[in-house]
Amino acid sequence: MDRSKPRRNPYQRGQDLATPDGERQFDELEASSLFCPKCRAAVPVRKRLLLVLPEGERYEYLCAYCSTSVGRKIEEVKNKIQLIQTP
Ligand SMILES: [Zn+2]
């Protein structure tokens, strides 16, 4: 079987491939497995929303086996709520 190679469309602009600034955002990486002190192994984790804060949403990572908290993370909200500070 001769599989046709995935050809790039020369007329399609590579918008998804690279941003004009060359800016890549790796801060959205999800932790897929973390070390659990109880299981003493790298375990798959569940993500749970803990709190919604002005600076972002706080998530907690729980061990999929024993539900021990193995990590926390604050995800910045892109549409930030602007808090108006009254003097
Ligand atoms: Zn565990």
pLDDT in tens, 17-50: 544 555 444 444 556 789 999 999 999 999 999 9
pLDDT band at 60 (very low <50, low <70, confident <90, very high): very high
CB-based contact 72:34 (threshold 8 Å): no
Predicted local confidence at residue 58, as pLDDT: 94
Domain ranges (residues) in the chain: 46-78
Alpha carbon distance 16, 18 (integer Å) = 6
Alpha carbon distance 20, 53 (integer Å) = 32
If you measure from the C-alpha of residue 37 to the centroid of ligand 1, how many angstroms do you get, rounded to a whole number?
A: 7
pLDDT in tens, 68-82: 999 999 988 776 556
If you measure from the C-alpha of residue 20 to the centroid of ligand 1, how many angstroms do you get, rounded to a whole number?
A: 43
If you measure from the C-alpha of residue 85 to the centroid of ligand 1, how many angstroms do you get, rounded to a whole number?
A: 43
If you measure from the C-alpha of residue 79 to the centroid of ligand 1, how many angstroms do you get, rounded to a whole number?
A: 34
If you measure from the C-alpha of residue 40 to the centroid of ligand 1, how many angstroms do you get, rounded to a whole number?
A: 7
